Amino acid sequence: ASMGRTVVELFYDVISPYSWLAFEALCRYRHIWNIDLRFRPAFLGGIMQQTGNKPPAMLPKRGEYMLKDMKRMAKYYQVPLRMIPDAFQHIMGTSSLTAMRFITAIDMTNPQYLEPLSREFWMRFWSQHEDISQPENLLVVAQQAGLSPELSQKALEMISSPPVKDRLKDTTTEALKYGAFGMPAVVAHYDGEPHLFFGSDRLELLGSVIGEKWLGPVPS
């Protein structure tokens, strides 16, 4: 890291819509704040399981609220996230494990594609409401993100390999070690210690802690 830059890690899973909001906002602040942003693809399912957390939609009233909240947040954050009435069935019926392993494989082999690839997964799942769990769909997402067929095919072959599985497990464990219980988990390394912030609506607080000014979700 360059001198004096605060390392900010974003632990995320593409099944999490709030992670998308935090991802885009932090990408915008990368050149405004004195931070070194690091993307840490992890597995939300593992975090929920290890901490005993439950998806918000398990509580019907909370689910109803979340649909409205996401609509407002998408507009406020200017992220093309579209909620559909059966969004929760859509989430509950999808495992992001394969997608997160695929993203991890790319992170290990061609990290320059990590940002566009992650964004394309959110676009596909949260904007187009398409499947992200089948191998052929992973390849479509990779193509959209600008990866060559060779790279995509190689990543696809890697998803069942121990190094990729272990890397995703390790990153997930690291998030848990910092105290994460959901996504997004943002960890700022400031003043010699890690500071955990949960959710996409705590970036103002993150700025305050690391001595940076929050200019809204779309700083121009």
Question: What are the catalytic residues?
Answer: 16
Dump the DSSP string for 10-46.
EEE-TT-HHHHHHHHHHHHHTTTSSEEEEEEE--HHH
Please give the angle made by the CA atoms of 56, 61 and 67, to the nearest 5 degrees: 65
How many Cβ atoms sit within 10 Å of the Cβ of residue 76? 13
Beta bridge partners of 11: 40, 185
The first and second tokens of residue 17, run together, are 């819509």
Dist. CA 105–CA 84, nearest whole Å: 30
